[in-house]
Structure formats: structure tokens, C-alpha cells
Amino acid sequence: MAERGIDITGEFPKPWTDEVVRAADVVVTMGCGDACPIFPGKRYLNWDLDDPAGQSLEAVRPIRDEIERRVRELLGELGAVLPAGARTDLRRPVRLKRRVNLA
């Protein structure tokens, strides 16, 4: 991620709370299975991707790029407007045509 100008050295997986899922318009999972809270009326997407843990940088790059592609596609479906050439870092504000919450 440093190659993309995103510092994740202090980041770690965080468990979802019921409040986070209830507030989301779309819930994207990556293999959490039954451990993920399910709420009726929410749109769930399961992105089946290889786990980058313990893999070489060369193996991780395509996974990272696929996540970025899918995030950009989803944001487009949801009406997000990203500046040309913007990197997808969901910790930063995204300009939207309508309010969208992602979990």
C-alpha cells in the first residue's frame, strides 16, 4: 500500500459492530462466512479473493489491484464521484452524489 501512498502500518482488522452494519448501505465481506452479522434488507457482497497474508509483494499486488478495481466499480454503482486519478482510500472522504455508507 505504501507504493500507492497509503500508510497502513498502524492498521489492523477491526470487528464489525451491529451498529456499523445497520448504518451501511452495502456490506462487503472477504471470507468471514457465518461470523459476519446479517441484517435483513442490507446488500451483501462477498468478494472471494486470495488472502495476502504471508505472500510476497509480487503476489499481493494483483490482490490489491483487484480490490481497488472492485471498490471503484462499487462506488460507481453507488453514485460516488472520484476525482480523476484519485486513489481509492476509503479512510479519506469520497464526494458522493448521494450519501453512502460502506462497511
Q: Which domains does the chain have, with CATH numbers?
A: 2-96 (3.40.50.2300)
CA distance 103 to 23: 8
Report which secondary-structure segment, H or E, holds 27.
strand 26-29
The pLDDT value recorded for residue 83 is 61
The pLDDT value recorded for residue 1 is 85
- The Cβ of residue 1 has, within 10 Å, a number of other Cβ atoms equal to 13
In the predicted model, residues of the chain with pLDDT beneath 70 are 33, 81-103
Longest Cα pair distance anywhere in the chain, in angstroms?
Answer: 39
Please say whether the dihedral angle defined by the alpha carbons of residues 29, 25, 66 and 46, taken in this order, is positive or negative: positive
The pLDDT value recorded for residue 6 is 83
The pLDDT value recorded for residue 2 is 86
Cα-to-chain-centroid distance, residue 2: 17
The pLDDT value recorded for residue 74 is 92
The pLDDT value recorded for residue 96 is 46
